[in-house]
Structure 1
Amino acid sequence: MAFSRACRLLITASVAIGIAHAAPRPEVVASGLENPWGVAFLPDGRFVVTEKPGRMRVVGADGKLGAPLAGLPPIAAGGQGGLLDVLADSDFARSRTLYFCYSEPEAGGSANGTALARARLSVDSSRLEDFAVIFSQRPKVASRNHFGCRIVEAKDGTLFLTLGDRFSRKEDAQKLDNHLGKIVRIGKDGSVPAGNPFVGRAGALPEIWSYGHRNGQGATLGPDGALWMHEHGPQGGDEINIPQAGRNYGWPVITYGENYGGGKIGDGLTQKAGMEQPLHYWVPSIAPSGMAFLGSDRYGAAWKGNLFIGSLKFGYLDRIELKDGKVAAEHRLLEDGRARIRDVKQGPDGLLYVLTDESNGKLIRLLPD
């Protein structure tokens, strides 16, 4: 895969876009991954990578692919569904616990939904043990689209999970009696934290943190510990949001996108009282996936604190400068590779790692220029 150092201008909804002054050098750590979706880091320098068709592998620090791990549950792979995000527990060195989300098939039926599970990686790294589902989206829907499925561990040890609206059920994103188009917050054992905004409210599911989302495929903690996420718009209107407890983010009542093929969605509104505006949005859509803040100075002081988001549609990594809580500039990285960027994370070494969503997908380390 060849990458150049050139960066071109990107037109977005409301900000002037600059050109990056330097670009990192991509180094392929591992290849031969089939549509990898999520990567997690182990304390000994190895990686855990999910493949959307339904495999999870340990990848050595030398890039050698381990055999698929045994012990995974049944997975409804197909369309946008499959084995999706993975997260190593913050205390993995002691617990050996992994959290992962996937499209869970309905027992004996054709419907499915996003589920979040936990399991321990065996000492020989060959299998998952003590598997347990700690959250299961309801209702199940007969759909191959919009699973969401990014996992974030908060500073207090609770888990956030993004959940898509399943495409055919977008109106349910505005209702609190279901998990469609929501972000949920749960304990590591699946319990509901007492501080969740809808605990004790009649007709509302207590796991819900925020609602009115479409299909969030990127989420991370900001430098201050707040949750950040992005979500796919329809045709245009991809958004960055900082989801606050109990807030309504508007989908499908307000959006900066339009129906596929053209035409307004609903009343065609972009603002409405009681609904939050995005921090930033893209028209046209970039199809964002993966999301990470850079907390290290490995690429120089100017990049520290920048936000990084992969583009599936255009095949680049978006480096986003923030100023006063707003997007000040965006810079395209890795665009000459034209590979769909599915995930981006900062590793324990302070470097950025990306996954390319291809049949011969790659785990790439970005080395400072």
Structure 2
Amino acid sequence: MPAAAEQNFGNATPNPVQPFTVTPVATFDTPWAIAFLPDGHMLITEKPGKLYLVSQAGSKQQVTGVPKVHYEGQEGLLDVAVSPHFATDRMIYLSYAEPGAGGSGLAVARGRLIGTTLAGLTVIWRQLPKGKGGQDGGVMTFDPSGQHLFLAVGERMRFTPAQDPNQSLGKILRLTLDGKPAPGNPGYGKTGTATVPLTDPPRDTVAATDAPARQVALPDPNLTPAETWSSGHRNPYGLAFDAKGALWEVEMGPKGGDELNIIKPGRNYGWPVVSNGINYDGAPIPKHDTHPAFEKPVVYWTPVIAPAGFAFYDKGLFPQWKGSAFIGGLRSEALIRIAFGGANGAREADRWDMGHRIRDVAVGPDGALWLIEDEEGGRLLKLTPKT
């Protein structure tokens, strides 16, 4: 399915004709994620630490029982996901930057949504030790069986942990619904580490508080931690399964090199050893072709789009887009449509200028597309076909 050769769409020109009507519905303080409940209401997170229950007409009710978050820069209250068994368990999952000694760490908590209260909120997974840095990742999805929670964890601007088999940073994790390592994971039941040092790896000076690492260790793929599904990720901001059960991910590169990947268990996606971008100080990074042991992206973007949010479209309101996926663009201020199939596996098919940073995209029960803008006063937007 993936392309034999990477495709770059970084210089794509936005389509000036929008085939949809954009209707503002509500506003929020730096919203981060949208999740639909079975009854058609939405849950929307605000990065400063609030969660809202929102009707499709725009009425908002604040949900209580939300955990305290570390709100700074890229950190705060992040993703929200609705249990695949919500009809019986009413569970809601939240990812967030958890404050603590030494800094913060990504955490996942779940609780039962009773009216507008999260009852019995419990942390089921946390990244330790806590520390400094942004790029938490934090996006979540459930597999088609409804038995596993997938969590994308960023490398916190620390680079080398993405290649450290004994750290969760820079990984996609496959967990049980209560946050434990899932049986069947590539490293389930295995312990230990085997590494090969690489001298003078690339550096990414966006992490001004951390000195550039001089070595990186490549793990033996048979010795990954029990919760790890894939490794070598930088800052994943989108995660979703397609209709055939394949897991796809979008992540931010450094200066260039944003990626769309198809995620395979036990595979390594190369960060920070390889990238299709360069470091923020202009220093080059080896390309994926120089290290064939790493998985290459199906699509990459240089210049970046700064992807945020990723959703497959399986409804009939926009029949011409059935089977496509949509990505929100932060720096690109765009909505991007990905088409699948053909010799290359996937390609950017459309890019529409939205005039604002788009943080998340979701598909409503009736097939409308819903977007949120990444800013104070960010709008919730409903996209429907032009008539």
The answer to whether TM tops 0.5 is yes
Equivalent position amino acid for 2:118 in 1? L
Q: Does structure 1 residue 321 correspond to structure 2 residue 332?
A: no
Q: How high is the TM-score relative to the length of structure 2?
A: 0.85
Question: Corresponding residue for 1:70?
Answer: 64
- Aligned counterparts, 1:203-214, within 5 A: 203=192, 204-214=224-234
Equivalent position amino acid for 1:351 in 2? A
- Tell me the distance in 2 between the aligned counterparts of 1:268 and 1:323: 25
- Tell me the distance in 1 between the aligned counterparts of 2:122 and 2:180: 13
Contact 1:151 1:159 in 2 (8 A): yes
- Tell me the distance in 2 between the aligned counterparts of 1:17 and 1:321: 16
**2:167 aligned residue (178, 186, 211):** 178
Helix, strand or coil: the match of 1:56? strand
Contact 1:271 1:277 in 2 (8 A): no
**2:324 aligned residue (306, 318, 334):** 306
Question: Corresponding residue for 1:221?
Answer: 241
- The share of aligned pairs that are identical, in percent, is 40
Report deviation, 1:294: 0.7
Change (3 A) 1:242 1:15: farther
Contact 1:17 1:330 in 2 (8 A): no
Q: How high is the TM-score relative to the length of structure 1?
A: 0.89
Question: Corresponding residue for 1:232?
Answer: 252
Q: Does structure 1 residue 42 correspond to structure 2 residue 23?
A: no
Question: Corresponding residue for 1:279?
Answer: 298
Q: Does structure 1 residue 355 correspond to structure 2 residue 372?
A: yes
- Tell me the distance in 1 between the aligned counterparts of 2:142 and 2:164: 25
Which consecutive aligned stretches of 4+ in structure 1 deviate over 3 angstroms post-superposition?
Answer: 11-22, 267-271
Q: Which runs of 5+ in 1 are unaligned?
A: 1-10
Can you list the C-alpha shifts for 1:112-131, whole angstroms capped at 9, x where unaligned? Answer: 11111111112x32x21111
Q: Which one has a larger percent strand, Structure 1 or Structure 2?
A: 2
Report deviation, 1:29: 2.1
Report deviation, 1:26: 1.1
Q: Does structure 1 residue 162 correspond to structure 2 residue 152?
A: yes
Question: Corresponding residue for 1:128?
Answer: 118
How many equivalent pairs are there?
Answer: 347
Question: Corresponding residue for 2:197?
Answer: none
Report deviation, 1:208: 0.6
Q: Which runs of 5+ in 2 are unaligned?
A: 1-6, 193-223
Question: Corresponding residue for 2:105?
Answer: 113
Moved more, 238-247 or 39-48: 39-48
- Aligned counterparts, 1:4-43, within 5 A: 12-13=8-9, 19=15, 23-31=19-27, 33-43=28-38
**2:274 aligned residue (250, 254, 267):** 254
Can you list the C-alpha shifts for 1:293-348, whole angstroms capped at 9, x where unaligned? Answer: 11112112x31111110110021100122232523443112x1x411110011122
Q: Does structure 1 residue 82 correspond to structure 2 residue 100?
A: no
- Tell me the distance in 2 between the aligned counterparts of 1:243 and 1:79: 28
Can you list the C-alpha shifts for 1:48-73, whole angstroms capped at 9, x where unaligned? Answer: 10000111011123201213x22122
> What's the RMSD between the two structures over aligned residues?
2.0
- Tell me the distance in 2 between the aligned counterparts of 1:271 and 1:15: 24
Contact 1:16 1:328 in 2 (8 A): no
**1:151 aligned residue (140, 147, 156):** 140
- Tell me the distance in 2 between the aligned counterparts of 1:362 and 1:161: 26
- Tell me the distance in 1 between the aligned counterparts of 2:267 and 2:56: 41
Helix, strand or coil: the match of 1:119? strand
Change (3 A) 1:268 1:47: closer
Change (3 A) 1:340 1:16: closer
- Tell me the distance in 1 between the aligned counterparts of 2:363 and 2:356: 19
Question: Corresponding residue for 1:5?
Answer: none
Equivalent position amino acid for 1:121 in 2? L
Change (3 A) 1:18 1:174: same
Equivalent position amino acid for 1:283 in 2? T
Helix, strand or coil: the match of 1:229? strand
Moved more, 282-291 or 253-262: 253-262
- Tell me the distance in 2 between the aligned counterparts of 1:262 and 1:23: 39
Equivalent position amino acid for 1:140 in 2? K
**2:54 aligned residue (55, 59, 74):** 59
Change (3 A) 1:152 1:30: same
